[in-house]
Structures are given as structure tokens and as C-alpha cells.
Amino acid sequence: MQISPQNQFFQNLEKNRRRKVKITDTHITLAHGSGGKAMRDLINDIFVNTFNNPTLSQLEDQAKFDLKNLIQLGSQLAFTTDSYVVDPLFFPGSNIGELAVNGTVNDLAVSGAKPLYLTCSVILEEGLSIETLRRIAQSMQIAAEKTGVQIVTGDTKVVDRGAVDKLFINTTGIGVIPPNIWIAANSIKPGDAIIINGEIGNHGTAILIARGELALESDIQSDCQPLHDLVATILDVCPQIHAMRDATRGGLATVLNEFALTSNVGIRLEEESIPIREEVKGVCEILGLEPLYLANEGKLVVVVGSENAPNVLAAMKSHPAGKNAAIIGKVTSSPQGIVSLKTSFGAERIIDMLLGEQLPRIC
């Protein structure tokens, strides 16, 4: 049967609207946030084709899941969100896209959850290179594949040149916590051991040097990495972890102060036990910074009963993300809400909450 010219026109129109489009623009324009064809082509080319999963490809305003499948994985739902404004977008060892995935995965993992799904919302500055955005999306997908999560929904906004600095990303994560796992700061008890999975301050130092504002050179790279598998290794040998948190903004000192205040205990650190690279120490000495406050993107603090600490430490050291793990201190009954540090000279000083900002836009 011969197809009428009118029907042929509509069939061709439908094919063109459904075909995968590779955008030819070289930079973001306001049209890419208008809600029209330019925006749809951007979303399809950069995000849908890159993240490539059946849930996202539906292009609904939400992602839908079968609750029966989630219930089979655990008894509690873990839900978190974070935003990323790091400057520069690319830095030694990582970039804002990988950081956004790993950071949100880690926020889920330290609750004991198995990370499953992420959202991705981006705010783009007019004039941002399309190639830069493509590289970042590809980094996000590589990171998601490594951690076993899917990026299933999101949002795109474009603002005038100068209204944001190139690109901001927000990610929200959902995971499921297995039965009999309860990790919370109010579970900390006097006598508990404090363990960290490796060297602190690498991320903050890498960002500082990458900005090129100082005449410093170093091979220090960000410690940006996913921690979900390390957490699973820890919980395999000891499900009775009292508290666990990743030490990002504000660094190790901030996490421990939060623990001490929440649980009404004291925390005493041993300076000589805290793993820090000599290069990080050197940069901090030059600039007058305190390494305990430097941001990390691949470090977690574990608080566990002293009787379980040796097994937990051994398990952490057996994992690539914990090979430099160390017991760095203990929980005391007093003074409540105070973190103190025994220095290498035998003196003791209080490590308070960070006042102000050592390094802005660090993550």
C-alpha cells in the first residue's frame, strides 16, 4: 500500500524526534535550559546516552522502583544529598563528576547501607564548554559503574554568564541498610577505639596546589575514592560498629568534635599515630594550616569497641582503601564534648571545631 505524502512526513518527523542526537554546539547557551529542543538534545546526548540505564531513559519526572526488591536487600532505607562546587573542576587525581558520585556513595556507605541509586542535578553557566560537560558526565558514569549504582533521574538548569562559576552539581543517593546494622554517633562509649583508613589532608592539599595561586609544586593527588566496599569488609568482621563517618569538609577534627558532642564523651588523639604525608605537613607549615582540618574525599573514621578494634584494623589493612589504616586515639568519659591531642612532644592541646574556612570550595 502506498503511503501518502502526509503520512510519510509524519513518519519521518517521528523518526527524527526519536533518533539519538549528538549536539553540535560547542558551548552551553541559555537555550540549553529553556525546556525546548536544545535542552532535550543536551540531556539525551550528554546524560541519557552516557548514564545509559532503563530507568533514566524513560525521561519521566521521577524514577520508580519496586519496593519488594528493596525490602529483600535490607530493613532500613538510607537517603542523603550533597552539592559540589569544587574549584577547579579538574584536579590531580579526580574531578567534580567523580567527586559527586563517590561523595554521595560514601555518605550512604558510612551508615552501613548498600548504595543503589543516585540523582544528578546540574547548574550550568552560559559559556561552559560542552566537551567539559561531556568529560564530567563520563567520569560520573565510570564512578557509578565502579560502585554499582545507577544514576536514574536528574535536572538541568542554565544560568547567565557569571551567575555561577562554570558548573555546580547536586547528587542525592538512596541505599538499603541490612538488618541488625545500626551505626550512629550516639552509640559511642568510653573505651572505644578510633580508627582512620589512611593519610589525611591529601584532597585539601591537592586542591590548594591545583588552583595555582601559590608557587608550590607537589605530586599529591586527591584521595577521592568510593568507600562502600571497605565498609562492607569492616562489617563482615564486625557488625557492631558504633559510629562511622567520612571526614570531608572540616576534616578529621570536625568529625571527632561532632562525635564528642553528640555522645557526651571525650576523645583523645595520639599525634604520632595519625597518618599524614610529609608533603602535606610541609604545605601546612608553610601556609599556617592545620592538617586535622583539611578536607578528605576518601577517608572514614570508625569508632568501635576496643575488644573488636584489632580485627577491624586488620580487615581495613587488607583492603586497598585501608592499607594505611591506623588506630589514632580512644574515647574517654571526660572531659565531655572535648577532643584533645597528645603531641609528639608529650604536651596536650585541645582540637576545637573549625572556625571560619581554611579553604573555600574544596568539594
For residue range 40-50, list pLDDT tens digits in order. 999 999 999 99
Assess whether pLDDT exceeds 50 at residue 183: yes
> Residues near 262 by Cβ (< 8 Å), separated by ≥ 6?
185, 186, 188
Residue 113 lies in a domain: yes
pLDDT computed for residue 217 by the predictor: 76
Q: How much of the chain exceeds pLDDT 70, in percent? A: 94
Instruction: Domain of residue 53: give its range.
Output: 23-177
Q: Is residue 6 part of a domain?
A: no
Q: Within this chain, do residues 319 and 193 fall inside the same structural domain, yes or no?
A: yes
Preceding omega of 92 cis (within 30 degrees of 0): no
Cell of residue 205, nine digits: 592539599
- Domain with 56 in it: what CATH number? 3.30.1330.10
171 with 195, same domain: the answer is no
One domain, residues 170 and 192: no
* Residue 15 forms part of a structural domain: no
CA–CA gap between residue 33 and residue 107 (Å, rounded): 30
The pLDDT of residue 359 is: 80
Residue 14 has pLDDT above 90, yes or no: no
> Does 71 share its domain with 172?
yes
Q: Say if residues 156 and 28 touch (Cβ distance below 8 Å).
A: no
Q: What is the pLDDT of residues 97-146, one digit of tens each?
A: 999 999 999 999 999 999 999 999 999 999 999 999 999 999 999 999 99
Per-residue pLDDT for 337 more than 90?
A: yes
Mean pLDDT, rounded, of the chain? 93
Co-location of 189 and 169 in the same domain: no
Question: What pLDDT shows up at residue 4?
Answer: 65
**Which of 177, 207, 236 finishes a domain?**
177
Closest CA to 100 of 79, 69, 115, 121: 121
One domain for residues 123 and 219 = no
Residues 257 and 110 reside in one and the same domain: no
Task: Decide if 360 is inside a domain.
Answer: no
Q: Is the pLDDT of residue 64 over 90?
A: yes
Are 72 and 113 contained in the same domain? Answer: yes
The per-residue pLDDT for 212 is 84
265 and 321 housed in the same domain: yes
pLDDT class for 20, splitting at 50, 70, 90? Answer: low
Q: All 3 cell numbers of residue 260?
A: 564528642
Segment 178-190 mean pLDDT? 96
Strand-strand pairing, 326-332 and 266-270: antiparallel
Shared domain for 134 and 236, answered yes or no, is no
Q: Are residues 196 and 61 in the same domain?
A: no
Query: What is residue 1's predicted lDDT score, i.e. its pLDDT?
Result: 53
* Residue 297, domain member (yes or no): yes
pLDDT for residue 18 is more than 60: no
CATH number of the domain bearing residue 316: 3.90.650.10
pLDDT tens figures, 283-303: 999 889 999 999 999 999 999
Last residue of a domain, one of 177, 193, 209: 177
Q: What radius of gyration, in Å, describes the C-alpha atoms of the chain?
A: 23
Higher pLDDT, 21 or 106: 106
4 belongs to a structural domain: no
The domain boundary, picked from 177, 209, 229, lies at 177
Q: What average pLDDT does this structure show over 262-281?
A: 97
Residue 181 pLDDT exceeds 90:
yes
pLDDT in tens, 202-261: 999 999 999 987 777 788 999 999 999 999 999 999 999 999 999 999 999 999 999 999
* 213 belongs to a structural domain: yes
Residue 276: pLDDT band with limits 50, 70, 90: very high
Residue 357 has pLDDT above 90, yes or no: no
Q: Quick check: is 171 in a domain?
A: yes
At residue 360, the pLDDT reads 87
Q: Tell me: pLDDT of 341 over 90.
A: yes
Which of 54-58, 217-221, 305-309 ranks highest by mean pLDDT?
305-309
C-alpha 223/C-alpha 228 separation (Å) is 15
pLDDT at 218: 81
Same domain, 297 and 161: no
Number of domains in the chain: 2
Omega before 5 within 30 of 0, i.e. cis: no
CA 159-161-167 angle, to 5 degrees, is 65
- Which pLDDT score, from 0 to 100, does residue 13 have? 42
| 7 pLDDT higher than 90 | no
